[in-house]
Amino acid sequence: MDKKVNSFLEKARVSAELFANRTGRVATQAASTAGKTASNVVEATRLNLRIFDLNTEIEILYKEIGKMVYAVHSGTTGNQDEMQIKLELIDEKLDKIAAIREKLSQVKSTVTCPNCGRECGPDDTFCSSCGAQL
């Protein structure tokens, strides 16, 4: 073959290899990012479900405490120790929820407003809800 044709074909081969390498790297990066995103979504869902469960448990405790308060109101003897235990359980569950929300904000890469508790973007300087500095 002619030298020019051979040179052209060689350049085309090299260009094709470079394109394939770049495409492969981009595809690998895209797959890795998609995998991390999917993993984060699964983790966020798991954490949100745990928060939901804890809130449900707290609602049950509130109901039980309400019955105890009404029993005291109606003259039936109430058990102060049992009520104190339930109140402490609520405090523990609220602490767990706060810790889970912190993990959730890390998974979502968000910042929680110290003033109103709303989730803000990681690059936000001020809360979009209340205007407080983050």
Burial of 113 (0-12, 13-18, 19+ CB in 10 A): buried
More confident site: 92 or 22: 92
Side chain identity, residue 99: A
**pLDDT per position as a tens digit, 71-126:** 888 888 778 899 999 999 999 999 999 999 989 888 888 888 888 888 888 888 89
pTM to 2 decimals?
A: 0.61
Q: How far apart are CA 94 and CA 75, in angstroms?
A: 31
User: Does the structure show a pLDDT above 70 at 17?
Assistant: yes
User: Does the structure show a pLDDT above 90 at 26?
Assistant: no
Identify the sign of the CA torsion 124, 127, 133, 134: negative
**pLDDT per position as a tens digit, 43-76:** 999 999 999 999 999 999 999 999 999 988 888 8
Domain ranges (residues) in the chain: 3-120
